[in-house]
Structures are given as structure tokens and as C-alpha cells.
Amino acid sequence: MMVLTLHQWIAFAIASIAIIAFSSHVIFKPRSHGFYRFFGWEGIAWLIVNNYKFWFDDFLSVPQIISWIFLFYATYIVIAGIILMKFKGKADGSRKDNSLYGFESTTELIEIGLYKYIRHPLYGSLVFLTWGTFLKNMDIALLIVSLLATFFFFATMLIEEKENIAFFGEKYRTYMKRSKMIVPYLL
């Protein structure tokens, strides 16, 4: 297990302060998906602070190659997901839920592009970022952090699905039956 240096502790503290500030509107609302997302983000911050030094070590090893595949997939699905949310989600402020950020408060169910196959590209990207970062320098303590972060992101997705069912109704239930959570055709 790695012992963190002072600058790593400082980096984690700064990241945590930013995450707390970004999550301040949901941090004490356990029924909101943002509550669980907060803990997942903290896990990613811890992984990055621990593994940033190993980002390019042994570049062609199997764990590194898998890590890069996960990280590129995470990047692709977050970018594609945000673009579709922005242009097709119609976040116009009529969705009254103060636990949502502006871009999250979509009023139109997106069922094209990436969303045709997966329901949670943004949270899926965080799961793949978690595991891509873990694979940079695998350690039992970081495995536990990765598992916990993954648990919190899946809890986030499940709570968000309840929120989406409450807003979109049966249309969202039907959409859930024909799409996967984060990996097309698999998961």
C-alpha cells in the first residue's frame, strides 16, 4: 500500500473541496442521485492522487492497454453524452428538481445516438475512469476504493432511474427495456 506524500494529501484536499462545492446542493440529500455521485467522485479523486505517477509506466503492459481502452471509452461516452444532452435534451428549466444541474434537467427523453444503446453515458464514463485509473497501479487498497466508487456510481444510476421514471413515466420504463446502463448490449 502506498503512503501519500504531503503534496498528494494537498491535491486530494483541493479536489475534495472542489467536489464538495460542486455537490453542496445535494450532499445532505440521500434520496438524490447526486448524494451517491459525491462519494464516487471522491473515490476517483483518491485513485488519481494515488496513481498519477504511474500513468505512463510500462506503457505496453496488458493492464496499461486495458486502462487506456477504458479511459478512451470514458472520454468518448462523456463527450457524446453531453453533446446529445445539450442539443436534444431540451433542458429549459421547466423540470423543477433542485438536485439537478442545468444540463441534467432535460425535459425530452434522448433515445438517439449513444442514448439509443446506453442510458447513463456520463456515469458510465465515471465507472470506466475509475477502473482505467485503478489499472495504472493496482493495489488492494485501491481495489477497495474502486469497488466502492463503482458501487456509488451504480447507486447513482439506480436513483437517477427512479427520478427519470417519476418525470418521464412509462416512456422511460420502455426505454429501460431496450437499452443497457453503461455498455451497449452487455451492461
pLDDT, average across residues 75-90:
94
The mean pLDDT value for 67-74 works out to 98
pLDDT at residue 97, rounded to an integer:
77
What percent of the chain has pLDDT above 90?
87
Mean pLDDT of 74-103: 87
pLDDT (0 to 100) of residue 46: 98
Helices and strands in the chain, H and E counts: 6, 0
CA distances from residue 90 to 12, 14, 152, 156 in whole angstroms, order as listed: 35, 33, 27, 22
The pLDDT of residue 162 is above 60: yes
Average pLDDT over residues 146-171: 96
The class of domain 6-178 in CATH terms is: mainly alpha
Average pLDDT over residues 82-102: 84
- Got the DSSP string for 110-163? --SGGGGTBS-HHHHHHHHHHHHHHTTS--HHHHHHHHHHHHHHHHHHHHHHHH
Mean pLDDT of the chain: 94
pTM above 0.85, yes or no: yes
When pLDDT is cut at 50, 70 and 90, the band that residue 128 belongs to is: very high
pLDDT at 1: 55
With a CB cutoff of 8 Å and minimum separation 6, the contacts of 84 are: 110, 112, 113, 114, 115
